[in-house]
Amino acid sequence: MSLSVLRRVPFFAKLQTADLKEVYKISRIREYGPGEPIFAKAASAEQMFIVLSGRVKIYTPSSSKKRKTFAYLQPGDFFGEMALLEGKPRSASAEASAYTKLLMITKRDFQRLLTRDHPRLSIYLLKVFSERLRRANEEIEGFLFRNILGRVAKTLNDLGKRGEKKRGGVELPEHYTQQELADLVGTTREPLTRALSALRRAQLIDHVDGRYFIKDPDKLNSLCLIEA
Ligand code: CMP
């Protein structure tokens, strides 16, 4: 991995070249296979991570049929910083959901980077926290005010924000199984399948070559706003 690769990661783009070189020297790369755990909720924490390639699922484990995935993280995203900042155990579990390469930074180095007068890095972290809080608020609103169709539409719409625009619509950036979508929405397979079928019948989405395609993003967006 070269310095220029690191420079393209938003987290590192905020650092001065001298610090970037230091991070380059001190950080370690870890590789995980699909389904391999990275850490478990409530475990003690000594590192934070940056996704270099692949995909990471952040979720809360549950013994019931319902599970909750908080987010799928993609290259450039970071995670594992909350426990380090708060001095508390991990707030959620993390697992590689594809072949994944991570850059690992120790607690000591992370704290050193933050305290060494790096307002740009701190502002970037605050911006990402703010985005996560906004999304979490929208999810709470969804649980209270939206029916399952609206919640599925909102989830697809959110995933589509990182998707590729083509043929007047948007293709989701990754393949998601129905179980993965159900865990993101916070429901079980059956209601999720019914909602997806309704959206397909309404010509709002399609499933092409294993990926969901949002045919009419505007209409799907308006469905997200309908209250239950
Ligand atoms: P930490 O608590 O150390 O371990 C779990 C990590 O998941 C947490 O730090 C965050 O980095 C990440 N995380 C928790 N909640 C969310 C969320 N809603 N969206 C994205 N990442 C999250």
* Greater pLDDT, 4 or 52: 52
Quote the pLDDT of residue 114.
86
Instruction: Please work out whether the CB of residue 57 comes within 6 Å of at least one atom of ligand 1.
Output: no
Compute, in angstroms, the gap from residue 79 CA to the centroid of ligand 1.
Answer: 6
* DSSP character string of the chain: --HHHHHTSHHHHTS-HHHHHHHHHH-EEEEE-TT-EEE-TT----EEEEEEES-EEEEE--SSS--EEEEEE-TT-EESHHHHHHTS--SSEEEESSSEEEEEEEHHHHHHHHHTT-HHHHHHHHHHHHHHHHHHHHHHHHHHH--HHHHHHHHHHHHHTTSEEETTEEE-SS---HHHHHHHHTS-HHHHHHHHHHHHHTTSEEEETTEEEES-HHHHHHHHH---
Instruction: Please work out whether the CB of residue 136 comes within 6 Å of at least one atom of ligand 1.
Output: yes
pLDDT band at 23 (very low <50, low <70, confident <90, very high): confident
Instruction: Please work out whether the CB of residue 70 comes within 6 Å of at least one atom of ligand 1.
Output: yes
Does pLDDT of 64 surpass 80?
no
Q: What is the pLDDT of residues 149-176, one digit of tens each?
A: 999 999 999 999 988 898 889 999 889 9
* Greater pLDDT, 56 or 112: 56
